[in-house]
Amino acid sequence: MVQATPFLLVLFLALGAHGLAVKKCSLTGRWVNDLGSNMTITSVNANGVFAGSYYTAVSAHSTATNESPPQGSHQKGPNQKNQPTFGFTVNWSFSDSITVFTGQCFVDDDGKEVLKTMWLLRSRVENIKNDWKATRVGTNVFTRLQSQE
Ligand code: BTN
């Protein structure tokens, strides 16, 4: 037992140091996705609620795209570790549509933060008969805009 103590101490310190070295993924900042859309998350409050701006590079309905506000939150409970799950809604300012995104903030093997998301884009249709074609689904991967690093 006496001989094992220094070994256990070294192991404990090594594991502790490793834990400290794990990079946290933070949603705050400027992001670009695989479609070329830009999102800035400006404020995240103590409850994990955030807001910012979103410029989509594409649209299903309009050629003109303006800034639209994303509103969402990320996990902030006792279970939340370094790579939080999150969700946000974009209420498009130039169309009748709404998109909801859900995803997770990861740190990849190169230490780069990446947001892996899935979305549902709900378009407005004239009547209930057209409801079947009103929702699109897809994925987006966001990486931090280089200029900010
Ligand atoms: C619209 O077409 O009415 C609003 C714009 C929708 C843009 C979609 S949302 C999902 C996907 N990801 C983006 O960054 N843009 C498209």
Residue 13 has φ and ψ, to the nearest 5°, of -65, -40
| Nearest atom in ligand 1 to 140's CA | 12
Of 58-67, 88-97, 106-115, 124-133, the least confident = 58-67
Give residue 23's pLDDT.
83
Instruction: Identify the three-state secondary structure at position 31.
Output: strand
Which whole number is the average pLDDT over 90-114?
96
Ligand 1 — pocket residues by CB below 6 A? 33, 35, 37, 56, 58-61, 92, 95, 97, 99, 119, 121, 138, 140
Which is higher by pLDDT, 30 or 10?
A: 30
Q: How many whole angstroms from 54 Cα to the centroid of ligand 1?
A: 10
Residue 145, token pair as written in the block = 């805009």
pLDDT at 64 over 70: yes
Rounded CA-CA distance 75/85 in Å is 6
Give residue 89's pLDDT.
98
pLDDT at 12 over 50: no
Return the percentage of the chain with pLDDT > 70, whole number: 81
Rounded CA-CA distance 79/63 in Å is 43
Instruction: Identify the three-state secondary structure at position 15.
Output: helix
pLDDT band at 46 (very low <50, low <70, confident <90, very high): very high
Contact 55, 69 (CB under 8 A): no
Tell me how long the chain is. Answer: 149
Q: For residue 89, which amino acid is it?
A: T
Rounded CA-CA distance 121/98 in Å is 6
Residue 69, token pair as written in the block = 């506000």
Which is higher by pLDDT, 2 or 131?
A: 131
Whose CA is closest to atom 4 on ligand 1?
59
- Site of tokens 């799950």: 85
Residue 101, strand partner residues: 88, 119
Domain spans in the chain, listed from the N-terminal domain onward = 22-144
The CATH number that domain 22-144 falls under is 2.40.128.30
Give residue 65's pLDDT.
83
Mean pLDDT of the chain: 88
Q: Tens digit of pLDDT for each residue in 65-89?
A: 899 999 999 998 776 678 999 999 9
